[in-house]
Amino acid sequence: MTKAQIEVISIILIVGIVFALIGSAYYWGVPLIEKRTTITEASVVENFIVSLDDKIVEIANSGGGEASIDIPDGFMQVIPYNYSGADNNSVVFDFFVQRQMVFPGTKVYVDTNDISEVGTFGDSQPRIITLESVPEFTGYKLIMRMRYRELDTNTTRKGFIIALNHGKAIDTGNKQVTISFGRSQSVPLAAKNGGDLIITHVNLVVS
């Protein structure tokens, strides 16, 4: 074998090794990049939902005010307090990702300290946030729900709840949500503990 032939074979081997390394990096690297992207996208939505809750609670507690928040990539629905479906009094946010984060059919609780249907006033957060996954096309649709629940007192017999939107229409959008105070009312003996239920209405308008 001549020196020239050895040099050609060496070059071919080196090129082959380089392509193998590139292929391996692509094979292992792309899923890792997609996974990181999915986690980032989910974190953005979680931060948005938590920030939205902060504003809703702040306006409900102050009895007035207004604020607007830009909606991240995805689709938002506001399902009113007196809606007849299972998701009543909720914000539902759908967004699409490439990698699976949650097993389909599994409900994951997000940033929620108590998952009881009726919470304890002063201890429980007024909302419950969950995350679910549905396979769709070449990726997955993630559904993040924030539902407002009743909070009952342990001492005096009273209950409190934040009620989203007055009416039965579901509001939808993907650009911006504006939060404003509606009204407060007391409904005698309507709380889960048998006391009066204080309902604070907060309006969410989605564009």
**pLDDT tens sequence across 121-166:** 999 999 999 999 888 888 888 899 999 999 999 888 999 999 998 7
pLDDT of residue 17: 45
- For the beta carbon of residue 57, count every other beta carbon within 10 angstroms: 17
Structure token pair of residue 64: 């007035």
Any idea what DSSP says for residue 47? H
Q: Which amino acid is at 71?
A: I
- How far, in Å, CA of 90 to CA of 165, rounded? 10
Residues in the chain with pLDDT values less than 70: 1-38
3-state secondary structure of 35: helix
Q: How far apart are CA 114 and CA 132, in angstroms?
A: 18
| Number of domains making up the chain | 1
Please tell me the predicted confidence (pLDDT) of residue 36: 60
Angle at 125 between CA 124 and CA 128, to 5 degrees: 110
DSSP track, 176-197:
EEEEEEEEEEEETT-STTSSEE
Which residues constitute the domain of residue 46?
3-206
CA within 13 Å, CB half, 39:
6
CB 95 within 8 A of CB 45: yes
